[in-house]
Amino acid sequence: VVDISSFYGQTGMFTYDPGYTSTASCTSEVTFIDGDKGELRYRGVEIEELATNHEYLESVYLLLNSKLPTKEELQDFDLELRHRSFLHQGLNDLFIAFPSNSHPMATLSAATAALSTFYFSHLDVCTEEELQVMARRIIAKMPTIAAYAYRTSIGAPFIQPDIDRGFTENFLYMMRAYPGGKMHRGINGEDVIRDIEIKALDTIFTLHADHEQNASTTSVRNVASTGAHPYVAISSGISALWGSAHGGANESVIEQLEMIGHVDNVDAFIARAKDPEDDFRLMGFGHRVYKNFDPRARILKELQVQLQYELKLDSHLMQIASKIEEIALNDEYFVSRKLYPNIDFYSGVILTALKIPISMFTPVFVIGRTVGWITQWMEFKKTKGAKIARPRQLYVGK
């Protein structure tokens, strides 16, 4: 707490808290985290329950409506999202304008901001019905935007959503299908998108759905506080997520495991991570809030073991990851700083087995998190007397 009277000529105090390590920016009813115990709940429901016994769209419905859907409600919700998954033809030209080899996160952020031009009326959403349509629209379209961003990055034609496929399957379809939408079939004529793949990706989406006031959600709320369009706020969340200290860590984890290359090299990299003179950090380790095992990481670790053979997970990368984990969890440096593996440490190996290219790891995070961002945006909008986000500073210049 800083007494500002000495240098601002005003009386009073304010807190100086770089990185907001001890500052609550809002009240919220959406997501609960107990970082010391390693607990996470959406609307009061434990993440373990949601990831094990419910599909992703149920968590989406829960976050938006504060209750899990009935079977009929889920069916209607699923159908509505399928119908809303198509993009306006005018957006195609925007994607085409980006250079091939552009990073999908850059395209995703730009295309999401551009979506506000097609749905400009959402600037003034007021009624509950208008809010729900606005939210469902962006959630439904995000897998399509992400898949288009990927296909732009490899110079491939876009694949429209298939109305006969559900949310998660549709994303895999739009990523994998041949021009014209044809899917290669297995030797027995089976669809190449396997149920086990859909289930694995669906769980990853569930685990990413919300995480209270992280950097990207805070960006969304900050933009919301100025009264800008909700889809532009989501675009700012995408931009904030991209960095490797946040959602971009899932991409960096695999790149780092590949750079380490062999279990015999792990010790040298652990030594670098501990060296105060070296900027090197173990990607996928540490968290601002979790000072115990990240519960999402625990679920993904178990999922990795279950899927190891069926999805042919890369055992070489898993071996390196296990060795890092084993050493770090017993090393004084990591133990004293409470640095545990986070969600990003485990998601990459599963995403690789799902044939998701590395550049699409963070966009997968975006697809899962869109519901969290838009739910938090709506909560902000409904807050009576909500203020513009406008922190103070400690001026130290001339």
Catalog residues that contact ligand ACO under the rule CB under 6 A.
Answer: 19, 245-247, 249, 273, 281-288, 337, 339, 342-344
Q: In terms of DSSP bridges, do strands 39-42 and 45-46 run parallel, antiparallel, or are they unpaired?
A: antiparallel
**CA–CA separation, 118 vs 102, rounded Å?**
23
Q: Which is nearer to ligand ACO, 50 or 94 (CB)?
A: 50
Q: Which is nearer to ligand ACO, 57 or 241 (CB)?
A: 241
What's the closest the beta carbon of residue 352 comes to ligand ACO, in angstroms?
17
What's the closest the beta carbon of residue 181 comes to ligand ACO, in angstroms?
33
Q: Which is nearer to ligand ACO, 181 or 243 (CB)?
A: 243
Length of the chain as a residue count = 398
- Helical (H) or strand (E) element with 116: helix 104-118
What's the closest the beta carbon of residue 107 comes to ligand ACO, in angstroms?
21
Instruction: Kindly report the backbone phi and psi dihedral angles of residue 229, in degrees, each rounded to the nearest multiple of 5, phi listed first.
Output: -60, 140
Closest Cα partner for 293 from 336, 340, 358, 363? 340
Q: Which is nearer to ligand ACO, 19 or 385 (CB)?
A: 19
Q: Which is nearer to ligand ACO, 161 or 286 (CB)?
A: 286
Query: Do the Cβ atoms of 134 and 119 come closer than 8 Å?
Result: yes
What's the closest the beta carbon of residue 308 comes to ligand ACO, in angstroms?
23
What's the closest the beta carbon of residue 120 comes to ligand ACO, in angstroms?
32
β-partners of residue 32 are 41
What's the closest the beta carbon of residue 223 comes to ligand ACO, in angstroms?
19
Query: Do the Cβ atoms of 170 and 82 come closer than 8 Å?
Result: yes
Chain residue whose CB lies nearest ligand ACO: 286
Query: Do the Cβ atoms of 232 and 223 come closer than 8 Å?
Result: yes
Closest Cα partner for 47 from 63, 65, 25, 28? 63
What's the closest the beta carbon of residue 347 comes to ligand ACO, in angstroms?
9
The CA-atom distances, in angstroms, between 327 and each of 268, 272, 275, 276 are 12, 13, 16, 18
Q: Which is nearer to ligand ACO, 338 or 382 (CB)?
A: 338
Query: Do the Cβ atoms of 395 and 233 come closer than 8 Å?
Result: no
**CA–CA separation, 217 vs 240, rounded Å?**
9
Task: Output the 3-class SS for 199-234.
Answer: HHHHHHHHHHCCCCCCHHHHHHHHHHHHCCCHHHHH
Q: Which residues are catalytic?
A: 287, 344
Q: Which is nearer to ligand ACO, 33 or 110 (CB)?
A: 33
The CA-atom distances, in angstroms, between 146 and each of 138, 236, 341 are 12, 15, 27
